[in-house]
Amino acid sequence: MDFFNGILSIHGVGFLMISVIAIAALGYILGRITIKGVSLGTAGVFIVALLYGCVFYKQLSDEINTDFVTNALKIVDNLGLILFVTAVGFIAGPNFFANFKKNFKSYVLLAIIIIFSGGLVCAGCILVGRNFTDLQSDEFTAMLTGILSGALTSTPGFSAAKDAVGSDHLQSIVSVGYAIAYIFGVIGVVLFVQIIPKIMKADMAHERELLAPTGSKKSEKSKKMGGMLEMDDFGIMPFSLAAALGIIIGSFKFGNFSLSTTGGCLLVSLIFGHFGHFGKFSVTPKDTTLKVFRELGLMFFLIGAGVSGGAKFVQYFDAVYFLYGMIMTIVPMILGFLFAKYVLKLSLLNNLGSITGGMTSTPALGTLISTAGTENVASAYAATYPVALISVVLVSQFLIILFK
């Protein structure tokens, strides 16, 4: 550890910057490893970040400053989420509203099915598991509700559960449950969207044709916008404006509910992406800009969430609670997929895109885009995500009230 201690003599910000870059480099190497056609992709960054958090987080916090490290990781996490979600909104925007109108009932119903089946699984685990735990009833309920929000990788659900339990003691238990379940919540959906097409031996070229919107609305807009005034060569200004407005909108609270930064940025960028311009001013970033920001944002998000998650995972890990989390990730995901396939009759990529939105899984969308070979799957994610967001907040609060 002498080398590590020597590196820590570098100023805290400098060391964290080195850490972020190193995690990214190693994570992409790991993500390239393919076993029978399945790889972690960008989620490889998450695995390396987890390992880093498990091994180095405590010593890093002791040597620098716990609050500084925690806040720095939150900045990396939130900045990544803002970049990723805003890029997704712009990408999905041109075809989103037509797609949403066409499949409105399917998207709403699927999101509700996924979240409420997760809630039912959680309720079942509470009813059965409370007979085999040393925790008090309210403590066990707080733990399992935290596990549900982690299994669905839902920060709004996590916040809602903490608000509903009230006391600081119960809030800390919710946090523990969230940390334990979050890891499989990420990896499980990432693997699912790669494995299912292989199990079904899907013809991706054919599936992309089924997913493609009728008529290229995006290309039509590009032709019409030839004479638009652009603020910069890459479209960074409209991108930044959409993100800033999204953060502001997401900060408004209605009781215990808010769109959050994710929901706000997604909403505003969808609107910007749909209209493409306001008057003579273009608000459409270049495709290359959106792709870079989408990938960069996902990478930052996974690093921030992974390092802090790894530290908490080591501190609070319990095999039984981890199993609860796996069940709460797997069951809603499979039920949602089967419901979308056999009842709603959604095409495979529309189905999987909706699953990533219904599971509120940001990393899985990035993986699915790579697997599918098209960014059109972002429309299905964007359509189901807001409904899932609201549903998971309501379900988390209801479980606390029901079993308190």
- CA separation for the pair 38, 24 (Å, rounded): 20
- CA separation for the pair 100, 1 (Å, rounded): 54
Element (H, E) at 33: none
- CA separation for the pair 71, 95 (Å, rounded): 37
Tens-place pLDDT, residues 342-391: 999 999 999 999 999 999 887 888 889 888 888 888 888 888 888 888 78
- CA separation for the pair 378, 58 (Å, rounded): 37
Question: Taking residues 230-234, what's their average pLDDT?
Answer: 84
Q: How many CA atoms does the CB half-sphere of 79 hold within 13 Å? A: 11
Q: How distant, in Å, are the alpha carbons of 83, 85, 203, 243, 366 from that of 262?
A: 10, 6, 33, 10, 15
Among 159-173, 174-188, 231-245, top mean pLDDT goes to 231-245
For residue 160, is pLDDT > 60?
A: yes
More confident residue, 192 or 139: 192
> According to the model, what pLDDT value does residue 214 have?
47
| Residue with the two structure tokens 């990396």 | 76
Q: What percentage of the chain reaches a pLDDT higher than 70?
A: 89
Instruction: Give this prediction's pTM.
Output: 0.75
Average pLDDT across the chain, whole number: 83
Question: Taking residues 309-325, what's their average pLDDT?
Answer: 81
- CA separation for the pair 380, 400 (Å, rounded): 30
